[in-house]
Amino acid sequence: MTENIATPICLVTGGAGFIGSHLVARLVENGCQVRVLDNLSTGKLGNIQPVSEDIELFEGSLLDRQLLDKSLQDVRYVFHEAALPSVPVSLKDPLATHEVCATGTLNLLDASRQAGVQRLIYAGSSSAYGESEALPHREDAPTAALSPYAAAKLAGELYCQAFTASYGFETVRLRYFNVFGPRQDPGSPYSAVIPLFITAILNGKRPTIFGDGSQTRDFVYVEDVVNANIAAMNAPSHVAGGVYNVASGESISVRELATKISHLMDAVDDPQFEAARSGEIQHSWAETASAREALGFVAEHSFDDALRKTVEAFIQHFVQQGSSTETPSS
């Protein structure tokens, strides 16, 4: 596959995953030539099946340099979505998390630079801010990794920054806040709170809240995250080396979230509570001015509308499956 100047070749790592598959679909829709690199440990072929005839799949690891070099041939833009995105999993296996999120990112950066890639867009994490008392979180705030996951993702960020400073290789770091939407896997150990709450109710169970529910999160719809990535791809060269929050700019408590989901599903609002988990922050809320000014990105979907769409998608999938899906607690 040789690049046509009008239709750039894009590589999406983790492209069979939740966020990656939505990004792949949009890139195809926009006329890009798209490659996906995924080891399918958490990603699913079903996520990219609708565009399978329009993409090239490279199945394997970020640590496989030979595969990386092959997948990067003639690529202009790299979207790095691959990760082990879970605080609890990182606490159980910090070395595996570091290998994927930090070492894998370094390997990808080095291979991309040597392959002549124009720009790499990095999927960072709001976990970089730790438990900051200064809210909303600004990109220039001090970082504080409170879990191995946060540390590994922050290490990936720093490598991006270093490659821009040292080699002039263009990187744009996007700090995702709490992303949600269709295709988020509730059965995965990496799953987030919204799919777990929805699926618990679908299975006739009470959603589980860790802590008292007063913890807050800034939720952002997956299609808005895709918009941010496209904006980062198209932004002028002066954004290289920058870091930008990708969020709605609003926060909601986990307890209020449970109420909203229960009401949307005509279920009794009666969650169960368990002890707070180690490594989890209490409050998360983003300042979004930098992304708006530098990238022209603003989240377009209201939380309530996006949550309704997500609930409807999960219900439809549940009905199509014809049976319950056992899920862990959230």
- Dihedral sign, Cα of residue 135, residue 137, residue 140, residue 143: positive
The string of DSSP codes covering 32-86 is -EEEEEE--SS--HHHHGGGGGGEEEEES-TT-HHHHHHHTTT--EEEE------
CATH code that applies to domain 9-322: 3.40.50.720
pLDDT at 189: 63
Tokens of 151: 């540390």
pLDDT at 190: 60
pTM of the entire structure?
0.94
Q: What are phi and psi for residue 63, nearest 5 degrees?
A: -85, -5
pLDDT at 187: 77
C-alpha 30/C-alpha 181 separation (Å) is 21
pLDDT at 109: 99
pLDDT at 279: 83
Tens of pLDDT along the chain (330 residues) come to 454 556 899 999 999 999 999 999 999 999 999 999 999 999 999 999 999 999 999 999 999 999 999 999 999 999 999 999 898 899 999 999 999 999 999 999 999 999 999 999 999 999 999 998 899 999 999 999 999 999 999 999 999 999 999 999 999 999 999 999 999 988 776 678 999 999 999 999 999 999 999 999 999 999 999 999 999 999 999 999 999 999 999 999 999 999 999 999 999 999 999 999 888 889 999 999 999 999 999 999 999 999 999 999 999 999 888 654 443 332
Query: Domain limits of the chain?
Result: 9-322
